[in-house]
Amino acid sequence: MGMTVEKTYQAGDAIESKCNRCKDVRMHVVVAMDGGEIVKVQCKTCGSLHKHPKPKKAATKRRGARSVAKTVKALKNAAEQVQDWENALNGKDMGAAKPFGAEGSAVVGGLIDHPKFGVGVVQKIVPPNKMEVLFRNGPKLMVQSM
């Protein structure tokens, strides 16, 4: 059962601290104290006076119920989007997908092959020059070339 004993410092004691000027951890001399807490130190390397940083407490990362619920909801939405995409492709020949931007590719129910999003199904035409396409990772509003 190891107990950690925290050293108490006094003005004039040597302590390691990050120097603001040197931008590195260096030996410092304690210059000012406030109720047992080190307030100001002086770098032994460059001689600069600066505040002593307070020790950081060990952070414990805990996911709250709300963030877990958001993750579960996002996973369900992603699964539903993939299912919608698979249903839209049902019975269609993916080899018949026209390259995105090709002449006549913007037909409702038609397949397009996008270089980034992959194969998608045109859901609707949005005048004057847009179309909504359902891809595996969800619907996208795309500008179509005229």
Residue 118 pLDDT greater than 70, yes or no: yes
Predicted confidence (pLDDT) per residue in 68-90, tens digit: 888 888 888 889 989 999 999 88
Predicted confidence (pLDDT) per residue in 27-70, tens digit: 889 888 888 888 899 998 898 888 887 766 655 666 677 888 88
Give percent of the chain with pLDDT exceeding 90: 21
Q: What is the pTM of this model?
A: 0.51
- What pLDDT, on the 0 to 100 scale, is given for residue 59? 57
- The Cα–Cα gap between 29 and 45 comes to 10
- What pLDDT, on the 0 to 100 scale, is given for residue 6? 64
CB-count exposure of residue 122 (10 Å: 0-12, 13-18, 19+): buried
Contact 10, 30 (CB under 8 A): yes
- The Cα–Cα gap between 142 and 106 comes to 10
